[in-house]
Amino acid sequence: MSRNYWKVLKNRLNKEGSESVTKCNRLKLEAADGKKYLTDVGSTETILRLIQSIPSPKAEENKSRH
């Protein structure tokens, strides 16, 4: 579910021309099952900018903290 949400959000932000998505890189990180999977990663600043772009009342809590 979260993977699909991220995919939709990333596509929407790309269409809007957001630089935050282009600043995310993909690294192979080890998961709990021991396998390595490509995972989107970003700096703290990039992640906070992504949080600010989420249109959700639940995200408002994090937006006001920073």
On the question of pLDDT at 28 being above 80, the answer is yes
Closest to 3 in 3D by CA, of 31, 45, 43: 31
Alpha-carbon span 31 to 64, nearest angstrom:
31
- What are 48's two structure tokens? 């906070």
Q: Scan for tokens 């596509």, then name that residue.
A: 11
For the whole model, what pTM was predicted?
0.57
**pLDDT cut 90: percent of the chain above it:** 20
Per-residue pLDDT at 45 exceeds 70: yes
What pLDDT, on a 0 to 100 scale, did the predictor assign at position 60?
60
Q: What is the mean pLDDT of residues 24-36?
A: 93
- Each domain of the chain, given as residue ranges in start order, spans 2-59
pLDDT at 5 over 70: yes
